[in-house]
Structures are given as C-alpha cells and as structure tokens.
C-alpha cells in the first residue's frame, strides 16, 4: 500500500489546527500528505458536530469520501462528531475503517497502522490533551496562522455541547505559545490568530489568574511578527488591563471579537452567558473610548427558546445602536445533549430562518456604514494571493479576520504574497474594499 494521506477538514479553526497536527504526525512517520483524497490511500475526515447543519455536513462528507472506498482507500473519521457519536457512526456507516476523537488524535498513526492490520479501531478517550511547540504540525503555506492558546471550556452555556466534545478548559504556558509563534514566524508567518473557546479565561487553570494581557505582551516582543489577532473574548472577563493591552501594544490589531449571543437579559440568563446588556454597553463604550479606530465583531443566536418577536426587535435595535463592524448570525440549534433542548417555548424553524435573514440585513447596513470611513484612507494590507478574476491581488486589513470578514481587492505590480503594504482605499463594495498600493 502506498503511504499517502489526505486531510478533509470541516468546522472551526480549532479543527484546522488539529488537522495540521495530524498531518504533521503522519508526515513525521513517513507519509506524504496530499490535498486530493483521490490521490491518497488513507482519507481522514476531521468532523464538526457543533450544530445540526455542521453535523449534516460532516455526515455528507463522510459518505462522499466513502464512495472512494471502491478504489481501495481507508477511511478515518476524526474530531468532534467522532468524539460525540463514535458508536453510532461505527454502526450506521460500515465504510468507516477507524474513528479517533478529540482526546486521542495524536495517536492517528497508531490508528492507521491498526487499520492496515485489519482492525477497525475506535480511539475515544477523555479530552485532556493540548498540543505544544514540540508537536509536529504541517501548516499550509500562508503568512497567517492559527495558534491555540487553550482548549476546552468550563462554561456551561445551555445551548452548547463543546465541553462534551472538547473537555474542560486547559491553557498552554506563555513560554510554549511564544516558542510556537517564533517557529511560525521563522517559517514566514506574519499574522497569528490566537484562538480558544474563551480566550479571556486564559491562564486561570495553570497560573491561578487570567494572564491574557501578559501573553499579548510577550508575543508583542517576537521579532518579525507583525499582527496579533485575538478571537473569542467573552464580555464578562474583558478587563481594563486587557483593554490597555489592545490600546498600547503595537502588534495587537485593534480588532475585538466578542461573542455576545444576544442582547436581552432574560435570554442571556437562560443561555447562562456571562454579562448583561448594561455591562455589555459599558464595555463597548469603553472599548471605543480607549482604543482608537477599534473594530468590533460579535455573533448572535436567534430563535433561542423563549425569544419573542419583541425580544428579536430589541436585538435588531441593539445591533443598530452598537454599530458592530462585523456580525455573525446563527439560528438556534436544539442539540440533543444540551440543556436548552428541553426548554419550553421552542421557536419554529421558519421563524428562526426569517429572524436570521432580518438580522443579517441590519448587520449589513451597519457594516456598510462603518466600512465607509476607510474610503480615502491609506491602510496596511496583508497580501494573501492573486485575484483570479483580474490582474490584481487579494489582501486583508488589520480590521478583517481571515475567511470570516471582508477582503481588499488590491491593484499593484509584482506584489509579494505575505507582505504587508500600504494601500489607498478608493471605494467599498458591500463588505469589501478596493484600493491601490502606494
């Protein structure tokens, strides 16, 4: 049998990092990693099971890859769906040769070798592992990289099953994260995106205190690193010290990602979310007062059990008033092992879909208004690739996160991919900007 493996990654950035670690382990064991599943003898599907839509996409992808079994390939299912539904997957999809969960994916090579010996292994342990700077990791060529600063979650949001799939909250040390970032920078990375289920909780488990500002200061000293972007900062723990770090550290981009989930206090209480609207308003006001040109992203869930039309209209008003630069909107997904699936006053799917569409339209109007302030300005842009539809390039500003926010269409000659260049913005197109290198 040839020694080629292909990773098919679904879901969030955390899954992407896990896939890069699995690819790194397999490469270290002598496997060639290929992007084309048809070119591989082992296909690993790293699944997501956060909401119904993600579960359906995962199942559909596994079934699509299973059709390649006729060519003699082995099929492995990994990740959150594997962790949550290992027995069901094994029973209902006999084409699966092996299953590995979020707590055992570093044993991926062992699993593949056992498959080759004719076994059908399932490696589903308690998720307590988190990778470090010594873990093999095979990252694609890019000037931007994701770095997990912690894994798992200790919160018990009533709609969420992440703790069941990822385990309890566990931080990496500051030294470990800095060492990994130094390795990434040596390989050409210029932007690091720090990710965790709740980044503001960083350090509580290993230091006995929230140490995110200290981590940001340590990373700010890494030579060659240009941008530090922080994701998933819970509003209840966004301290004055953290605001000062955003304000004062030159490499920390002025991009604050706060998943609020709703505006109305009784919904937030039912969700068991930290913070209430009064505190959220105070925090957003302080962020805009303290951090010049700050950009704020948030995400919201519509159709949570008990959400009335009046609640939803207040949420729309809240989004308009707070003037978020970027907004993600999700319909509530009744997960079978989450507490909220048993709540009264469940909202009909068609109502949830309509509310999501309405809120996204509000968010789009606000985003267009906010985006207009960049027209006529010169902004640093990370050049990420060629524009296939023109002779130009595509890039991102410090105010846009990779793959979820807007892009910049850049005019220029012989630009270096991965460089950060000043771009004069001429106009905007919906969520995107257009400009020329100066």
pLDDT tens-digit readout, 37-73: 999 999 999 999 988 999 999 999 999 999 999 999 9
How are beta strands 393-396 and 432-437 bridged, if at all? unpaired
Domain locations in the chain as residue ranges = 4-123, 144-372, 375-437
Whose tokens are 């060629």? That residue is 386
- Fold match between 4-123 and 375-437? no
What is residue 381's three-state secondary structure?
Answer: strand
What is residue 105's three-state secondary structure?
Answer: helix
So what's the pLDDT on residue 141? 84
Residue 414 DSSP symbol: S
Q: Which two tokens stand for residue 241?
A: 């010290």
So what's the pLDDT on residue 2? 67
State the Cα–Cα distance between residues 221 and 139, nearest whole angstrom. Answer: 23
So what's the pLDDT on residue 64? 97
So what's the pLDDT on residue 236? 86
CATH fold of 144-372: pyruvate-formate lyase- activating enzyme (3.80.30)
Q: Which residues pair with 98 in a beta bridge?
A: 76
What is residue 99's three-state secondary structure?
Answer: strand
So what's the pLDDT on residue 430? 83
* Dihedral of the alpha carbons of 15, 7, 164, 179, in degrees to the nearest 10: -40
Which residues, given as ranges, of the chain have pLDDT below 70?
1-2
Whole-prediction pTM value? 0.95
So what's the pLDDT on residue 140? 84
Estimate to the nearest angstrom the gap between the alpha carbon of 313 and the chain centroid.
28
Superfamily of domain 4-123: Methylthiotransferase, N-terminal domain (3.40.50.12160)
Has domain 375-437 been given CATH number 2.40.50.140? yes
Whole-angstrom CA distances from 19 to 77, 287, 336, 416 are 12, 35, 26, 28
State the Cα–Cα distance between residues 264 and 87, nearest whole angstrom. Answer: 39
Whose tokens are 């940001």? That residue is 216
So what's the pLDDT on residue 258? 96
Asked if 364 and 188 touch (Cβ cutoff 8 Å), the reply is no
């Amino acid at each position: 049998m040839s020694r080629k493996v292909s990773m098919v990654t679904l879901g969030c950035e955390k899954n992407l990092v896990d896939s890069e670690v699995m690819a790194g382990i397999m490469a270290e064991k002598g496997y060639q990693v290929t992007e084309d599943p048809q070119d591989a003898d082992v296909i690993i599907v790293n699944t997501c099971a956060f909401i119904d839509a993600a579960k359906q996409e995962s199942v559909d992808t596994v079934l699509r890859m299973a059709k390649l079994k006729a060519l003699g390939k082995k099929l492995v299912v990994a990740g959150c769906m594997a962790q949550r539904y290992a027995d069901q997957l094994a029973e209902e999809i006999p084409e699966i040769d092996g299953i590995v969960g979020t707590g055992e994916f570093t044993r991926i090579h062992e699993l593949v070798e056992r498959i080759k010996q004719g076994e059908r292994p399932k490696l589903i342990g308690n998720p307590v592992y988190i990778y470090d700077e010594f873990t093999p990791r095979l990252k694609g060529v890019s000037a931007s990289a994701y770095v997990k600063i912690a894994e798992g979650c200790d919160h018990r949001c009533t709609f969420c099953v992440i703790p069941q799939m990822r385990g309890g909250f566990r931080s990496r040390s500051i030294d470990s994260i800095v060492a990994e970032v130094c390795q990434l920078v040596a390989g050409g990375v210029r932007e690091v995106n720090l990710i965790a289920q709740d980044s503001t909780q960083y350090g509580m488990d290993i230091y006995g205190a929230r140490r995110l500002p200290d981590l940001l200061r340590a990373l700010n000293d890494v030579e060659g690193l240009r941008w530090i972007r922080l994701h998933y900062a819970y509003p209840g723990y966004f301290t004055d010290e953290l605001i000062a770090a955003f304000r004062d550290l030159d490499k920390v981009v002025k991009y604050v990602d706060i998943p609020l989930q709703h505006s109305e206090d009784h919904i937030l209480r039912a969700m068991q979310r930290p913070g209430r609207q009064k505190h959220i308003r105070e925090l957003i006001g302080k962020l805009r007062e303290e951090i010049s040109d700050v950009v704020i992203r948030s995400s919201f869930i519509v159709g949570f059990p008990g959400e009335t039309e009046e609640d939803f209209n207040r949420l729309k008003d809240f989004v308009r008033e707070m003037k978020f630069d970027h907004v993600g909107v999700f319909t509530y997904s009744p997960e079978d092992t989450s507490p909220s699936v048993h709540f009264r006053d469940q909202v009909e799917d068609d109502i949830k879909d309509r509310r999501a569409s309405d809120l996204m339209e509000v968010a789009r109007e606000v985003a267009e208004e906010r985006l207009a302030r960049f027209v006529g300005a010169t902004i640093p842009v990370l050049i990420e690739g060629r524009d296939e539809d023109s002779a130009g390039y595509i890039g991102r500003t410090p105010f846009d996160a990779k793959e979820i926010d807007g892009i910049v269409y850049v005019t220029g000659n012989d630009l270096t991919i991965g460089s950060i260049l000043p771009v004069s913005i001429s106009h905007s197109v919906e969520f995107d900007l257009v400009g020329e290198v100066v």
